[in-house]
Amino acid sequence: MPPLAGNAAIGQRVFETACSACHGSNAAGNEDAGPPLIHIIYEPAHHADEAFQRAVAMGVKSHHWRFGDMPPVAGLTRGDVAMVIAYIREIQRANGID
């Protein structure tokens, strides 16, 4: 894990509170609940930042994984999700996903 600062550090805190139960520590996935976001499927060219915004706001039908549909996540603003995206993109880059 690279040292995080700014928006990515804020996003990490939001992620740990609102997302890690399903998407795992460091977005590495939870085999019983949700997929890893540190995966080529979630690279910016395939899942743009707005896809993350929409998934959090409206939920998303399962289409890449066997985990089932993702429900909307209550209590997060677009700003919160923007910080989470900054965190995810930072750790994706650290893992060779651009």
Is the pLDDT confidence value at 2 over 80? no
The answer to the question of residue 45 being in a domain is yes
Structural domain that includes position 39: 6-94
| 47 domain residue, yes or no | yes
What is the number of domains present in the chain?
1
Instruction: Supply the pTM of this predicted model.
Output: 0.94
Residue 21 lies in a domain: yes
Range 24-43 average pLDDT: 95
What is the per-residue pLDDT for 1? 75
3-class SS letters over 23-92: HCHHHCCECCCECCCCCHHHCCCCCCHHHHHHHHHHCECCCCCCCCCECCCCCCCHHHHHHHHHHHHHHH
Q: CATH code at 14?
A: 1.10.760.10
pLDDT higher than threshold 90 for residue 79: yes
Whether 34 is covered by a domain: the verdict is: yes
Is residue 57 assigned to a domain? yes
Q: Is there a domain that residue 1 lies in?
A: no
